[in-house]
Amino acid sequence: MGIHFDSGAGLFTLETAHTSYHMQVDERGHLLHLYYGRRIGQGCLSTLYPPADHGFSPDYYPNRRDRGVSPDVLPQEYTGCNVGDFRLGCLVARDEHGAAGADFLYVSHTIRPGKYALNDLPAAHDEEEEAETLIVCLKDAVTGLELELLYGVFARQDVITRAARLRNGGSAPLRLEKAASLCLDLPFGQWDLIHFHGRHAMERQMQRAPLTNAIHTVSSTRGASSHHHNPFVILCDRSATEDAGLCYGVMLVYSGSHRTDIEVDQNGSTRLVSGLHDQGFCWYLQPGESFETPEALLCCAPDGLGALSRRYHRFIRHNICRGVWRFARRPVLINNWEATYFHFDTETICRIAEKAASLGVEMLVLDDGWFGKRDDDNSGLGDWYVNENKLPGGLNPLIERINALGMKFGIWIEPEMVSEDSDLYRAHPDWAFTLPGRAPAMGRDQLVLDMGRPEVVDHLTDVLSDLLRRHHIEYVKWDMNRNMSDVYSRALPPERQGEAAHRYMLGVYRLLNRLTIAFPHVLFEGCAGGGGRFDAGMLAYFPQIWCSDNTDAIERLIIQHGTSFGYPVSAVGAHVSACPNHQTGRNTPLWTRAVVAMSGTFGYELDLGRLTDEECRQVKEQIAAFKRYYDVIQNGQYYRLSDPAREPRYVAWQTVTDSEALLNLVLTRPEGNARPLHLCLRGLEEDALYCVDTMRLYGITVTPEVHSVQAGISEGAVYSGSTLMYAGCTLPRLSGDYPSVQLHLTRVANH
């Protein structure tokens, strides 16, 4: 495994545990992509692409007479610009004359142990010292533009990271109008595209469709990875399932505007190009200056969608997330937002905390409204000092009372935004994005701070560091509640305005890096109106992200199902909320709400003081169950056991470790004369024996037609792993409004 170079053939081979990636420097010096898929070992594959004259596909100038050697047909590792490849391109580079052009030829390469680093962007790290780095250097002879293609090979994990570094090695300025992170050419095969669309409160809805001879685009121009199109796509065999079929994943480690295009061309070849969105983008490169693209995580799973997901889950936890909290047990928390919204004082919060502590909750999080002039969402953002009208004496007396209950204290902030009605905006109106001479569009009656300005990042570093130093705060919920418009930086000259949006993200990352290093004990949770910035870039600083503002458990089933294709359970912020639900008005049993929230970081977001004695007893049991199952939930292998698009009756999922398994199912559509609920488990050892030590049935309604719960798999029974996986199990008959099942199995012996 690792990186190999055959100098005689000009062949690079990148090998992981189950995959091979081949590319070759051809006789002209272009770097061609040859193969990515199931592991095949070394060997030259250039014969897969014999020269052929394709109509209206121009040839390189030296081949103008013999034809058949066209950039429009050959599989490229990273495309040039305006040189006869009419498919999707990676780059638009203009010289001082305004001419767009670049033709990159091989110069050299470097292979070294360890993982390359990016200067200002989040990227995968290699604490386990398993990675190797390949850097291939290419150059355009006319402009002097130098291209370094960066590859990080994590062989055991079947992940290859990719990024590009562009340097102006010429004597005149250049303008980059597009700079993608990677190109992936798949010359053969027919593929389905899986992507994750949505909207606020309905994020990451999985959609799968066959690719056609067209260009398919998954993108965001919102200045955030967005609620609408996640920066993660999958290409898979038309017949691929959870357990079989070739699958490719491309995930950007970036939180701003992004774009992934997939084209099926005239020859049936598929090309994917992914990276920064080029709308409004223009990066000015003086001689000697460099630009780095965001990193992409490339993964190939020859054995199905489930394996692809589990590889991403492990990689994100081990090689994207950082700090003590990526593996540490997260506290069960209560957030006051849906209990009080902006209307609270010290006594209100303490009453919530007292009730929560009596039920076993471990942390209270004080949400929006504790600072500045903040009684609604029209003022106060930017003024990160305590509103003592609500909290007399400030935060410390409140925190002391919370800590005296044996609970930790956390707080909500939204540092990247500013209200017009704030001291910060009155002092520095030029720190906000607004267009000269125009009234800005307003989202939530707030503006976006120009995080590309060093003085803005320095100010926020000082203010937030002071907040965390002066108060015993152990958790921070970092929110962002509007997307970018009116993007114009008063700190940049006209020729650099196209850099403002990307510089914003670099500033955010710079601030997060400073704070997470300075306060390693603080658990930071990301949020952007819920799941509007749920991406690998944020996970490099936040080990968990609030999955969605939609806390309806039944809708969360679909949101969390889509999220699971790329992101681990440990990253999913999930709470039990009140019923009727504040977003949908739906009533769902309290235990079912807990079963759904347990497939995340787990907490509560409701007024616990309004619960009945029976409901309080259930909360205690839920917290105890979550703590008991914590290891298998957070550290286990994740398996999707149902497809909501094909089986709308229920959603089922499972987590597995070497010693235990946890099956969860929620019935979403009960039926008269119901068909049996039959499932085949996954991930167990065939020859091992498993005891059903706990089977909980929640929210079941007994009707005259259903006099009792009909038996299926039973508590105390012992089954072999092969029986549970291949013969499967039939669950008891469920009825009523959204009942659920939680089945815990312990491995007891081998045959």
Known catalytic residues? 535, 615
What is the number of alpha carbons within 13 Å of residue 464 lying toward its C-beta? 27
Nearest to 545 by CA among 536, 558, 556: 536
Q: How many CB atoms lie within 10 A of CB 106?
A: 17
How buried is 649 (Cβ within 10 angstroms: 0-12 exposed, 13-18 middle, 19+ buried)? middle
Contact between residue 314 and residue 264 where contact means Cβ atoms under 8 Å apart: no
Tell me how far apart the alpha carbons of residues 749 and 738 are, in angstroms, rounded to a whole number. Answer: 35
Tokens of 337: 């937002």
DSSP tag of 386: B
Contact between residue 506 and residue 563 where contact means Cβ atoms under 8 Å apart: no
Contact between residue 417 and residue 504 where contact means Cβ atoms under 8 Å apart: no
Range list of H helices, 440-577: 454-470, 500-518, 536-539, 553-563
Tell me how far apart the alpha carbons of residues 548 and 711 are, in angstroms, rounded to a whole number. Answer: 36
- Order across the sheet with 11-15: list the strands: 2-6, 11-15, 19-25, 31-38
Tokens of 404: 């005296």
Contact between residue 576 and residue 590 where contact means Cβ atoms under 8 Å apart: yes
Tell me how far apart the alpha carbons of residues 36 and 256 are, in angstroms, rounded to a whole number. Answer: 28
Contact between residue 92 and residue 176 where contact means Cβ atoms under 8 Å apart: yes
Tell me how far apart the alpha carbons of residues 748 and 469 are, in angstroms, rounded to a whole number. Answer: 49
H/E stretch holding 402 reads helix 395-404
Tell me how far apart the alpha carbons of residues 623 and 608 are, in angstroms, rounded to a whole number. Answer: 14
Tell me how far apart the alpha carbons of residues 74 and 267 are, in angstroms, rounded to a whole number. Answer: 11
Tell me how far apart the alpha carbons of residues 452 and 223 are, in angstroms, rounded to a whole number. Answer: 13
H/E stretch holding 312 reads helix 305-315
Tokens 């930086």 belong to which residue? 489
The per-type count for the chain, helices as H runs and strands as E runs, is 13, 39
DSSP tag of 371: B
Give one word for 226, left, alpha or beta, with left for phi > 0 and alpha for psi -120 to 50: left
H/E stretch holding 338 reads helix 337-340
SS3 content of the chain, % helix, strand, coil (to 5): 20, 35, 45
Dihedral in degrees, nearest 10, Cα atoms 437, 442, 445, 448 = -80
Contact between residue 640 and residue 561 where contact means Cβ atoms under 8 Å apart: yes
Contact between residue 374 and residue 390 where contact means Cβ atoms under 8 Å apart: no
